[in-house]
Amino acid sequence: MSNEPSSRDVIIYVASDSAGDTGEMVVRAAIAQFHPVYSEIRRYSFIQDESTVKRVVQQAKSEQAIILYTLVIPHLRSSILRLSEELGVVAVDLLGPLIGSLEQRIGRMSRHEPGLNHVLDADYFRKVEAVEFAVKYDDAKDTSGVCKADIVLVGVSRTSKTPLSMYLAHRKFKVANVPLVPEIKPPDELFSISNTKVIGLTIDTHYLNVIRKERLKALGLPDNASYAMPERIERELAYAKSIMKRIGCLVIDVSHRAVEETASLIMEHIK
């Protein structure tokens, strides 16, 4: 069996001389326009020298990957541009053209210092705290997070609960999410908190069927498992709807919505 990616698969390298958060967010926003499609994002953070740049480009060549880079150090940016052209690798410069335009408009050179958007101020620490919160209270691993959260997301599997939690965390909201499964009693905490901070996520049966089949394929499993069967999905959605109705929370249909669009609706509701 070939290890090469299929025509529907895409591998994207995010190369940065800082953490790479900006590049990954842009990639996720772009790939959402092609959902459902299997994509793999690999970060290469805190790149400091040209030997690392060379290794990243060569690896991307071997995997037919696309590179998106956010390098502010000029010689590293020049190096990745030159090497990608030599090896025929698609490489997209996210910051270079904008920095150049700003230098012309402002009339002076940029500082060329990586990571300046992560100045360690109170705002940054709030974001870090929110991300750590989202990871800790993902998928109801610890239901005590339901009472501590700013936002609680509920819904069946594959309704974007985890991606939404992380996106909202980067907007400094503490988010817990709870999967709704007919065989598992929902945590009591869901019914003791204000329903204004609970958001129900629902989805079209056919669309969820497609998403779950793609997920099973990505895991190397047969797509006829009960997890992806329409009858099972309809039963799960009906159960989730009954729980959301009992809570009396806002319900958002995430069918064909990008994570960013759903997050905007949630933030608008919370505010």
State the DSSP H helix or E strand holding residue 218, giving kind and residue range, or none if neither.
helix 205-218
Q: Which two tokens stand for residue 93?
A: 């410069």
Q: Which two tokens stand for residue 172?
A: 């400094």
- Distance of alpha carbon 65 from alpha carbon 90, whole angstroms: 8
3-state secondary structure of 148: helix
- Picking from 11, 271, 26, the residue whose alpha carbon sits closest to that of residue 167 is 26
- Picking from 265, 256, 262, the residue whose alpha carbon sits closest to that of residue 35 is 256
| Residue type for position 126 | R
Binding site for ADP, residues?
A: 155-162
Binding site, residues?
A: 155-162
Strand partners, 93: 69
Q: Which two tokens stand for residue 114?
A: 């990586």
Around Cβ 271, how many Cβ atoms within 10 Å? 5
Strand partners, 13: 42, 67
Radius of gyration of the chain (CA): 21
State the DSSP H helix or E strand holding residue 103, giving kind and residue range, or none if neither.
helix 96-106
